[in-house]
Chains A and B, each alone.
Chain A
C-alpha cells in the first residue's frame, strides 16, 4: 500500500493517547508487547500483548517420546532453563517410580543453584539498564558468562544444558570442575560489594525504584505472584524450604524477605538470594567431594520407554517463582497431556498490567524487569 493512501481518521478530542510498547523495543524484555494508554506520561491502562513467542510446547510434548522431551523443556524459559528440566524429570520419575541416586540429586541441586545465579546476575544487568545504569548491565552479563563457562565445563553447553534426565543426570563432574566452580563463586561473591557501590546503593536506582510498582502481600497472593516477587512483599514462602525436594532439606539457607514490595525490594531480595545461592552451592560442592555413587538409575530402552498411567504434579522454586508441571500419562511412550505452570505468566500479564497503572511511562520497563518476567515462558 502506498503511504499516501492512508485515510485520515477523525477521533473525538481526548487527553489520552495509546502507545505501542514493543515488541521491537529495547525497554521490553524479550519479544513481548504492551499497549499503554497514557495521559501525559502517566499510564492510565496497560494491556499486555503476548503470543509472539508461542511455540505450542504443551502440544509438541505430546508428540514426542518421554526421552525426547528432555531436549524440549529447557527451551521454555531461556534465561533460567534448568528448573524446567528438573521439574519435568521429577514428574516423570514420580510417574515411573524411578529412584534418583544420591549423587545425582546433589548434582541437580548444583546446576539448579548455578542457574539461579546466572538468572539473577542477568536480572541485575537488565534492571540496571532500565534505569540507565549501563555499566552494570555489562558487569552482570560478563559475570554471568563465567558461570556459563562452568556450565560448559560440566554439561558441554552454555545455555541449553539438557543435563538433567529422568532418573539422574547426564554426566559426572569433570576433573577439577569443583575447584574451578569454587573460584568462580568466590569471584562472584567478591563482585557483590562492587555491585552494591554501582547498583544497589546507587542513588539513581534507590530514587527511581523505591515506591515504583508497589504491591502489598494480599495483592500478591490474589494475583498468584510467587518467588522473589512474593518474598519482596514480606511473605517467606519458598518451596525449597516449605516443600523441600532433592536434598534441600539437608542444606542451610535463609529465605530472604523484604517488606516494601516495590521494585527496589524485589531487587534486594534477589541480591540476598545470590548470597544464599552461593551458600547452598558451597555446601553442595562439599557434599559432592564426598558422596560417591552412580549418577543415573538404570533406564529401559528410551525408544520403547513406557511410563505407567497416572498423573503427577511437581513444583520447583525457579529464579522467577513457582514453576510446576502437570503431566498425565496413559501408559504409552509419549505424555498424554502436559501442562506447564510458569511463574512468569502471572507476573508479566495480570500483575504487570495492574502495577503499571499510575506509573510513568519511563518506569514501565523497570517494573517489567523488576518482576523478572520471562516472555518465552509466558507464551510457551
Chain B
C-alpha cells in the first residue's frame, strides 16, 4: 500500500511534461508511433448492442477489415479501440466504463449507431443511456440504425487517418477532466460509484494530470472512504454487487 494519499496532492505539485518530452525529438517519436498505431487497431470484442450484428460481415470475408489491420481482441488490456455497438443500458454502461478504464492508452472510443449519439430509437426508454460522450470521451461516431458495413469501413478509415495525423487525443480528456466524467457517472450510478482502476494515479503516470482531474466529485471518493482499506470500500462493493 502506498503511503501517499494519491488524491490529496494539490494540483500545482503535479509533474508537468518536461522539456525533453516537448522537444522536437519527442514529438517526432510520437508522430511515428501514431503512424504505426493507426495501422494495427485491435477492436475490443464486446458486443454491447444490436450493432454487433454488422460486425461479423465487416470483419469476415466480404468486407474484411483485417486487411487494414483491424482485428477483434478479447481482452481490454490489449485492445486499442472500444466499439460501442449501439444502445447502452445502464447496466452495460457500468461494465463499459470498467472496461474502458482497463484499456491502456492511447485508446479510442467509437460510438456506433444513432443510439450512442442521442438515444436513437430508444430516446424515451427508461433503461438506456442517451448520450455516450457524457460518460466517456468519444473519437468518432457512425450515424444510422443500423450503419451499413460500408459506413463502418469508412468510419474506421477516418479514425485511422485521425490517429495517424495525431488528432485522436480524446482519451487524454478522460484523465484531464476525470472529475467531470466521474461526476456524470456518479449522477447515474449513485455517489458511491467507483471503479477498481486508479484513474488519478494513471493521469499522473501519463503526465495528464490537469486542474480538472480532481474536484468535488473525486472528493466524494474520499468522503465515502473508498481509498482506505478495511473501512467499508470492499463492503460497499459487496453490497453494490
Q: Which residues of A contact B (CB under 8 A)?
A: 1-7, 9, 23-26, 30-31, 51-56, 59-60, 63, 71-72, 75, 78-79, 122, 125, 137-138, 141-142, 144-145, 148, 157-160, 376, 379
Residue with the greatest number of chain A CB neighbours at <10 A, chosen from B2, B50, B91, B233 = B50
CB within 8 Å for A141 and B126 given contacts A1-B195, A1-B196, A52-B91: no
Contact of A23 with B46 at beta-carbon distance under 8 Å, contacts A51-B89, A158-B148 already known: yes
**Known contacts A24-B99, A72-B121, A142-B60; is A2 also within 8 Å of B127 by CB?**
no
The yes or no answer to B194 lying at the interface (CB within 8 A) is yes
Give the residue of A54, A63, A141, A148 whose beta carbon is less than 8 angstroms from that of B60: A141
Say yes or no for B69: interface residue by CB 8 A criterion: no
Answer yes or no: B48 CB below 8 A from chain A CBs: yes
Could you show 23 A-B contacts with beta carbons less than 8 Å apart? A1-B195, A1-B226, A2-B2, A3-B197, A4-B1, A5-B1, A6-B233, A6-B234, A9-B234, A24-B44, A31-B46, A53-B89, A55-B122, A55-B125, A59-B125, A60-B124, A63-B124, A78-B50, A137-B56, A145-B57, A158-B54, A158-B148, A376-B50
The closest CB in chain A to the CB of B94 belongs to A52
**Contact A26/B45 with A6-B229, A78-B50 known, Cβ cut-off 8 Å:** yes
CB pair B61 A53 closer than 8 Å: no
CB-based contact B198/A3 at 8 Å: yes
Residues of A within 8 A of B76 (CB): 24
Task: Tell me whether A1 and B60 are in contact in the complex, defined as CB-CB below 8 angstroms, given that A23-B95, A56-B125 are known contacts.
Answer: no
Structural contact, B92 and A55, CB atoms closer than 8 A:
no
List chain A residues, Cβ under 8 A from B196: 1, 3, 6
Nearest first, the 8 A-B pairs at minimum CB distance are: A24-B46, A2-B198, A142-B61, A141-B56, A52-B92, A78-B50, A159-B146, A7-B234
Asked if B188 is an interface residue, CB under 8 A from chain A, the answer is no
**Interface membership of chain B positions 1-35, coded 1 if the CB is closer than 8 angstroms to chain A and 0 otherwise:** 11000100000000000000000000000000000
Q: Residue of A at shortest CB range from B238?
A: A9
C-alpha gap A53/B99 in the complex (Å): 17
Count B interface residues, CB 8 Å: 51
Q: Does B87 contact A (CB under 8 A)?
A: yes
How close is B72's CB to chain A, nearest CB, in angstroms? 7
**In the complex, what residues of B have CB within 8 A of residue A2's CB?**
2, 6, 198, 201, 227
Q: Is B128 an interface residue (CB 8 A)?
A: yes
Residue B70 at the chain A interface, CB threshold 8 Å: no
Q: In the assembled complex, which residues on chain B have CB atoms less than 8 Å from the CB atom of A52?
A: 48, 89, 91-92, 95
* Residues in B138-171 with C-beta less than 8 Å from chain A: 145-146, 148
> What does DSSP make chain B's interface, helix, strand, loop or mixed?
loop
**CB distance B52 to A30 under 8 Å?**
yes
Annotate B175-203 by CB proximity to A: 1 below 8 A, 0 otherwise.
00000000000000000001111100100
Q: Which of B45, B87, B99, B221 contacts A1 (CB 8 A)?
A: B221
B54 touching A159, Cβ below 8 Å = yes
Given contacts A2-B2, A142-B60, A158-B148, contact A30 B228 (CB under 8 A): no
Q: Is the CB of A24 within 8 A of B91?
A: no
Rounded to whole angstroms, the CA-CA distance of A4 and B230 in the bound complex is 12
Which residues in A have their C-beta under 8 angstroms from that of B89? 51-55, 379
* A72 CB contacts on chain B under 8 angstroms: 121
User: Which residues on the A side are within 8 Å of B228 (C-beta)?
Assistant: 5
Task: Give the docked Cα–Cα distance between A54 and B48 (Å).
Answer: 11
Which residue of A is nearest B234, CB measured?
A7
Minimum CB–CB distance from A4 to chain B (whole Å) comes to 5
A60 & B52 in contact (Cβ 8 Å cutoff): no
Q: How far is the CA of A159 from the CA of B92 in the complex (A)?
A: 23
B227 contacts A56, CB within 8 Å?
Answer: no
Inside 8 A of A75's CB, which chain B residues have their CB?
A: 50, 121
Q: What is the CA–CA distance of A3 and B128 in the complex, to the nearest angstrom?
A: 30
Cβ–Cβ < 8 Å partners of A9 in chain B = 234
- Residues B62 and A53 in contact, CB atoms below 8 Å apart: no
Minimal Cβ-Cβ distance residue in A for B79: A24
Which residues between 58 and 94 of chain B lie within 8 Å of chain A, taking CB atoms? 60-62, 72, 74, 76, 87, 89, 91-92
